[in-house]
Amino acid sequence: MKMRKKVFASFVLTGVMMAALSTSAFAQYGTNGIAAVGTSALNSKWGTNFQSTYSLGQTHAQIGVLKENLKKWRSYNPSLFTGVQAITSTSNYFDQATKDNLIVFQKAKGLTADGIYGAASRNAMHASMGVSPKGWVRIANTSYYINYNDTKAGLAADAAYKLDHSWVTTSTKSTLDSIAKSFYSAYSKKLEINDASLMDGYDTPEHATHMDGKSVDVRNKFGTTAMTAAQEKKFLELAVANPNVKEVLFYKNHGLTSAKIKVRADHADHFHLTTVN
Ligand SMILES: [Zn+2]
């Protein structure tokens, strides 16, 4: 009974916090209750004051959000926290308990367990607890594709703003799943899915055409290896054949004549795929 009461109290607190956030500027940045990170370029664009990381000894409003996130995640996974002190303070101060709880989270997610909250931890928190009011879903690694945004290279490539471009509509997700599965059965290669949208499509400095949850970039590179011409053609064929694909932008059509393929010289290192729904 005590336990239930405690969990209930934490939900009430989170509910109040979410309500406050949804009316603030904070919510429009696609963070929706998850502690945000950013860079000076992002801050000057959005008028925010996000840090790229938060760590022991610092004080920041996003640290208060992080502490609520960790408390909530802990309530879902209590057995992982045996012997780890609970976060009791609701202040914006990053105390030792915050660091200890964050390390448990990072270990569980296979991240560098350094107790410093940055873009990789933010992405993992989004994936674990991020709730899109529009019902969008976050792309995760599957048997058939990799979410490049969650790789070290992908995180480094996003150094300018440190945003999480991994959100799509459920039908876009199904479309990706289907194309990637077919591609994998042909080549035993996972597609690398790069930027989709921010949660719920809010403004992004990088991708003005990526605000609808229906647009996603697919790399025609696999790490340092490029797709072969045959693989690029196969991807185009699969995309064209999928009824939910509206168009795909790429620098060549490989002899295919579908109206869905738009040849764009500036799309040599990725396919830009847009779905109908
Ligand atoms: Zn694109």
22 C-alpha to ligand 1 centroid (Å): 28
Cβ neighbours of residue 239 closer than 8 Å, sequence gap 6 or more: 179, 245, 248, 260, 271, 273
Which DSSP letter does residue 115 get? S
pLDDT digits (tens, 9 = 90+) for 81-99: 999 999 999 999 999 999 9
User: What confidence tens digit (pLDDT) does each residue in 189-203 have?
Assistant: 999 999 999 988 876
114 C-alpha vs ligand 1 centroid, how far in Å? 33
- Cα 97 to ligand 1 centre (Å): 41
Give the pLDDT of residue 184.
Answer: 97
Quote the pLDDT of residue 26.
42
3-state secondary structure of 65: helix
Q: Sheet containing 245-250: which strands, arranged edge to edge?
A: 145-147, 191-193, 215-219, 270-275, 245-250, 261-263
Whole-prediction pTM? 0.86
- List C-alpha distances in Å: 137 to 107, 129, 170: 23, 11, 6
Cα(12) to centroid(ligand 1), Å: 39
CA of residue 63 to ligand 1 center, whole Å: 32
- Going from the Cα of 215 to the center of ligand 1, the distance in angstroms, rounded, reads 6
If the chain, 277 residues long, is cut into consecutive pieces of 10 residues, what is the mean pLDDT of each piece?
38 41 42 90 90 98 95 96 97 98 98 98 95 92 95 93 94 97 96 92 77 94 85 98 98 96 95 96
pLDDT, position 17? 43
- Cα(271) to centroid(ligand 1), Å: 7
Nearest-10 crossing angle of helices 96-108, 61-76: 50
195 Cα–ligand 1 center, Å: 7
**The predicted structure's pLDDT at residue 47:** 87
Angle made by CA atoms 256, 261, 262, in degrees to the nearest 5? 125
Give the Cα separation of 70 and 81 in Å (integer): 11
- Alpha carbon of 270 to ligand 1 centroid (Å): 8
CA–CA dist 176, 191 (Å, integer): 10
Domain boundaries defined on the chain:
1-131, 133-277
CATH T-level assignment (fold) for domain 133-277: Muramoyl-pentapeptide Carboxypeptidase; domain 2 (3.30.1380)
Task: Match domain 1-131 to its CATH number in 3.40.50.720, 3.60.10.10, 3.40.50.300, 1.10.101.10.
Answer: 1.10.101.10
Residue 206: the pLDDT is 75
> What's the CA-to-centroid distance between 210 and ligand 1, angstroms?
7
Q: What is the spatial distance between Cα 209 and Cα 269, in angstroms, rounded to a whole number?
A: 17
Burial 66-93 (b: 16+ CB within 10 A, else e): bbbbbbbbbeeeeeebeeeeebeeeebe
96 alpha carbon – ligand 1 mean position (Å)? 41
pLDDT at 63: 95
